[in-house]
Structure 1
């Protein structure tokens, strides 16, 4: 008895936080388990309090999907307001362009924020809630059971000691029936004491197993908070990357005045003309600007950082568009400016009267992209691809396979499938606008964000969705400039070997087919 009391005093001095009934369990635990036990309840409080505060930090509705969450964010409200405002401005003005670009990026930031909050819920909030409301309460419940069983056991032992004294007194007094009754009561209490001892041992084993399990899982619990910081870092990186890209393009465009280079590319039968009209008139399978720009970019643009993201000089871009529209062969100078080539390609896609991915399939594209199961999503995207008109399918296949090739160099050019989809997706697909429809006001924000979710998986699964070998220089459109080094007796000269199909061949009459040279 004195040894037990001494152990209790030592444990209380070593662990001053142990009080009251906790001392009942302390004498059954080793020093290591006592230290672990002291961390369980604080861990539960920490998980509960951090979870509660993190939920309060969320800007979107807890548990909502991306679409519903985005609509509730203040950034999206700002984007919609910008969309309403720039619709009243001339989009050719610098103010209109700046407002339109800002509208898009605010919507993109809203999507990034929504995805961040969903990742936070999935990888931090839900595990913390489970820890504080399920896992740790089980340990504390087993501790409480052990304390109760120890208390009951001690009570029975006291009663047993008292019964033993009473039984001894009865025997000594030789009272007969009283002695017999006391003996029976003593036997019953012994059985109860044995049963309670068994329960204490069982509860102790459960509790000790819980504590050992907790000690092995503490590193995993700590990773929830590390994951929180990792998700926050990724959120800020993506937001900053989107802002940097948009700012660079916006500043570049804003700082360069329009070139006085006179032209109206739409009347030349290329830019601004329906795809099928241009292909029919030119006898081509792939639109001239698409093939010409892709061919040039494959030669000199694949390693260029920020391709399709950084803007080219307005005058250079206008000149290239004009040369492409008239079928000029003087394209050598543009190989040195891949951003101008990428800009000319973007302009062609953006100026099509109907997007390359068509108005009719707009809802089908978005529906397919929102399917969460990867294989089902891929199958639906394949079905929509196969539903495209032949001309649209051929040109989209050609372009997406090129973009997938561009993404292979992402370590150098920084253009991942996601980045490419952000800057090029809104030029490939947009909803048809109705005159005076207020529903369309947020088109430049919400729609553009959804389209990114369509175009990115197309690039990621290009060979699956658009199978087969592909020849990018399908019509032998042009060859890159070559630097020829003559023998030592002659000077070195740079000789251009770039050739583009003459305008009279490119723009043949309807029904005529262009022969390859």
Structure 2
């Protein structure tokens, strides 16, 4: 393993070019050079020499002041910074949807106005947990469901991570239902804690949505179609792969919803 790859494994940050004089926050010595003098942690802001990065623990606590937004922020980073189990945007949106939208026809399938969804996104980025998404401001519940789906789509690493994607797809291809369920459960255990907890909470919610199917016409299969590509994306940037995997993405979400009580 090269020293360069060790930097990223042990520190989880990026080589950085500092403008102006900088000192290493590990050894307290000056960082020499004009470009790429050291490494900066994007979560906590620690600045160190490349060689010092090998000695710095990679379990830093993200500095909330450095978290400029809610959307497009790494899920684990956001959860650590706010010291919560799940991203607060997930909790707030689901709470609002369950309070007034479970019987809404086509819930999650029907789209809200894009500009209003963007307004909700900006409200969370600006106000955090104080964002007002009540019926007084957004009477159409489809705006809130749209904002929640957008949050998941904007994640730099999907809820079902790139590392586990192929394992989930292979599990979905297993013909025997019991073996398939066991394989899905095994892959679930590989998810990072924040991703696992977010997925668990979402599946409990989507199960409630299916319990109102006679009103909203949304069963687990329909929700799988909606949430498959929203929660899992292939690490390969290939249209052909995406099209080929769509039915398995749908099936995975359907299995998670129908079996949330035994899988989580």
How far did residue 268 of structure 1 move?
3.1
- Deviation at 1:269? 2.5
Instruction: Tell me which residue corresponds to 1:133.
Output: none
Matched, 1:455 2:253: yes
For residues 334 and 411 of structure 1, the distance between their equivalents in structure 2, rounded to whole angstroms, comes to 28
Aligned to 1:107: none
Corresponding residue for residue 96 of structure 2: 296
For the 8 Å contact 1:296–1:335, the answer to whether it is kept is: no
**Structure 2 residue 262 is matched with structure 1 residue 464:** yes
Per the alignment, residue 132 of structure 2 pairs with: 330
2:115 to 315, 322, 330: 315
CA radius of gyration, larger in: 1
Q: How far does residue 288 in structure 1 lie from its aligned partner after superposition? A: 1.6
- Residue 214 of structure 2: aligned partner: 411
> How far 1:330 sits from its partner (Å)?
2.7
Q: Superposition pairs for residues 106-125 of structure 1, below 5 Å?
A: none
Which structure 2 residues correspond to residues 129-144 of structure 1 after superposition, within 5 A? Answer: none
1:269 equivalent in structure 2: 69
Deviation readout 1:241-297 (Å, 9 max, x if unpaired)? xxxxxxxxxxxxxxxxxxxxxxxxxx7321011101111111111112111110001
Q: Map residues 413-492 of structure 1 onto 2, 5 A cutoff.
A: 413-433=216-236, 440-466=238-264
> Secondary structure, in 3 states, of the residue corresponding to 2:162?
coil
When the two chains are superposed, the root-mean-square deviation of aligned CA atoms in Å is: 1.7
1:454 deviates by 1.1
Cα drift, residue 331 of structure 1: 2.6
Aligned length: 196
Please report how far the alpha carbon of residue 396 of structure 1 lies from its aligned counterpart in structure 2 after TM superposition.
0.6
Greater share of residues in helix: 1
- In structure 2, stretches of 5+ residues that fail to align are 1-66
- Give the 3 Å change call, closer, same or farther, for CA 459–334 of structure 1 in structure 2: farther
Partners of 1:423 and 1:330 in 2: CA distance: 26
Confirm or deny that 1:376 pairs with 2:179: yes
Instruction: Tell me how far apart the structure 2 counterparts of residues 441 and 322 of structure 1 sit (CA, whole Å).
Output: 30
Q: How far off its partner does 1:415 sit? A: 0.5
The 1:316/1:374 distance shift into structure 2, 3 A limit, reads same
Deviation at 1:335, TM superposition (A): 5.7
Please give the alpha-carbon distance, in whole angstroms, between the structure 1 residues aligned to 2:121 and 2:113: 12
Residue aligning to 2:106: 306
2 CA distance for matches of 1:462 and 1:414?
Answer: 20
Q: Does 1:393 align with 2:191?
A: no
Give the secondary-structure state (helix, strand or coil) at the position aligned to 2:163: coil
Q: Does 1:351 align with 2:151?
A: no
Q: Scaled by the length of structure 1, what TM-score is found?
A: 0.37
Partner residue in 1 for 2:205: 402
SS at match of 1:278: helix
User: Which aligned pairs between 1:1-400 and structure 2 lie closer than 5 A?
Assistant: 268-325=68-125, 326-327=127-128, 328-332=130-134, 333-334=136-137, 336-400=139-203
Looking at structure 2, the residues matched to 427 and 276 of structure 1 have their Cα atoms a distance apart, in angstroms, of 18
> Could you say which residue in structure 2 is the equivalent of 1:437?
none
Per the TM alignment, residue 375 of structure 1 is displaced from its structure 2 partner at its CA by: 1.1
Cα drift, residue 441 of structure 1: 2.8
1:443 Cα deviation after fit: 3.6
Secondary structure, aligned partner of 1:361 = helix
Cα distance in 2 between the residues matched to 1:395 and 1:318: 22
Scaled by the length of structure 2, the TM-score of the pair is: 0.70
How far apart, in 2, do the equivalents of 1:371 and 1:334 lie? 46
> Is the Cα–Cα contact under 8 Å of residues 273 and 352 in structure 1 kept in the other structure?
yes
Aligned equivalents of 1:301 and 1:361: distance in 2?
32
The 8 Å contact of residues 269 and 278 in structure 1, kept in 2 or not, is answered as: no
1:329: Cα distance to partner? 4.1
Q: Distance in 2 between matches of 1:416 and 1:422?
A: 10
